[in-house]
Amino acid sequence: MSTNLKINPERLWSTLMETAQYGATPKGGVRRLTLSDEDKMVRDWFKTTCEAAGLAVSVDAIGNMFATRPGTDPSAPAIAFGSHLDTQPAGGKFDGILGVLAGLEAMRTLNEAGYETTHPLTLVNWTNEEGARFAPAMMCSGVYAGDLDMATMLAGTDRDGKSFGEELERIGYKGPETVGERRFKAFVELHIEQGPILEAEEKTIGVVTGGQGIVWLDGVITGRDSHAGTTPMPMRRDAMNALAEVALAIEAVALEFGPAGVGTLGEALVLPGSRNTIPGTTTFKADFRHPDAEALTAMEAAFTARCREIADGRKVEIDVTRIWRKDPIAFNSTIVEAVEAAAAANALPARRMISGAGHDAFYISGTCPTGMIFVPCWEGVSHNEEESATEADCGAGAQVLLDALLRLDAN
Ligand code: GLV
Ligand code: MN
Ligand code: MN
Ligand code: MN
CA atoms within 13 A on the CB side of 224: 9
Residues in the chain: 411
**pLDDT at residue 348 greater than cutoff 90:** yes
Percent over 90 (pLDDT), the chain: 98
CA 106, CA 53: separation in Å to the nearest integer?
A: 11
Could you report the per-residue pLDDT of 24-60, keeping only the tens digit for each?
999 999 999 999 999 999 999 999 999 999 999 999 9
pLDDT band at 411 (very low <50, low <70, confident <90, very high): confident
**pLDDT at residue 74 greater than cutoff 90:** no
The mean per-residue pLDDT over the stretch 249-267 comes to 98
User: Is 227 assigned a ligand-binding role in the annotation?
Assistant: no
User: Is 290 assigned a ligand-binding role in the annotation?
Assistant: no
CA 361, CA 380: separation in Å to the nearest integer?
A: 20
Query: Does 137 sit in the ligand 1 pocket, CB within 6 Å?
Result: yes
| Shortest-distance atom of ligand 1 to CA 132 | 1
Average pLDDT over the chain reads 97
The protein residue with its alpha carbon nearest to ligand 1, atom 3, reads: 358
* Nearest partner of 167 among 50, 38, 260, 293, judged by Cα: 38
Q: Where are the alpha helices (DSSP H) in 114-238?
A: 139-144, 150-155, 164-170, 197-200
pLDDT score recorded for residue 182: 86
State the ligand closest to the CA atom of 214. Answer: 1
CB-based neighbours (< 5 A) of ligand 3, an ion: 95
pLDDT score recorded for residue 279: 98
- Non-local CB neighbours of 34 within 8 Å, separated by 6+ positions: 86, 127, 128, 130, 132, 133, 134, 167
User: Is 300 assigned a ligand-binding role in the annotation?
Assistant: no
Compute CA 43 distance to the chain's CA centroid, rounded to the nearest angstrom. 17
- Contact (CB, 8 A) for 136 and 213: no
**pLDDT at residue 176 greater than cutoff 50:** yes
User: So what's the architecture of 213-326 in CATH?
Assistant: 2-Layer Sandwich (3.30)
The protein residue with its alpha carbon nearest to ligand 1, atom 5, reads: 358
ipTM of the complex model: 0.98
Model-level pTM?
A: 0.97
State the ligand closest to the CA atom of 137. Answer: 1
pLDDT band at 372 (very low <50, low <70, confident <90, very high): very high
Say how many Å lie between the first and final Cα of the chain, rounded: 10
pLDDT score recorded for residue 188: 99
pLDDT band at 1 (very low <50, low <70, confident <90, very high): very low
pLDDT band at 14 (very low <50, low <70, confident <90, very high): very high
Topology classification of domain 9-211+329-409: Aminopeptidase (3.40.630)
Could you report the per-residue pLDDT of 317-334, keeping only the tens digit for each?
999 999 999 999 999 999
| Shortest-distance atom of ligand 1 to CA 214 | 5
**pLDDT at residue 123 greater than cutoff 90:** yes
pLDDT score recorded for residue 181: 86
Domain ranges across the chain: 9-211+329-409, 213-326
The answer to whether domain 9-211+329-409 and domain 213-326 are alike in fold is no
pLDDT score recorded for residue 317: 98
DSSP 16-48: HHHHTTTTB-TTS-B---TTSHHHHHHHHHHHH
The mean per-residue pLDDT over the stretch 169-174 comes to 98
pLDDT score recorded for residue 316: 98
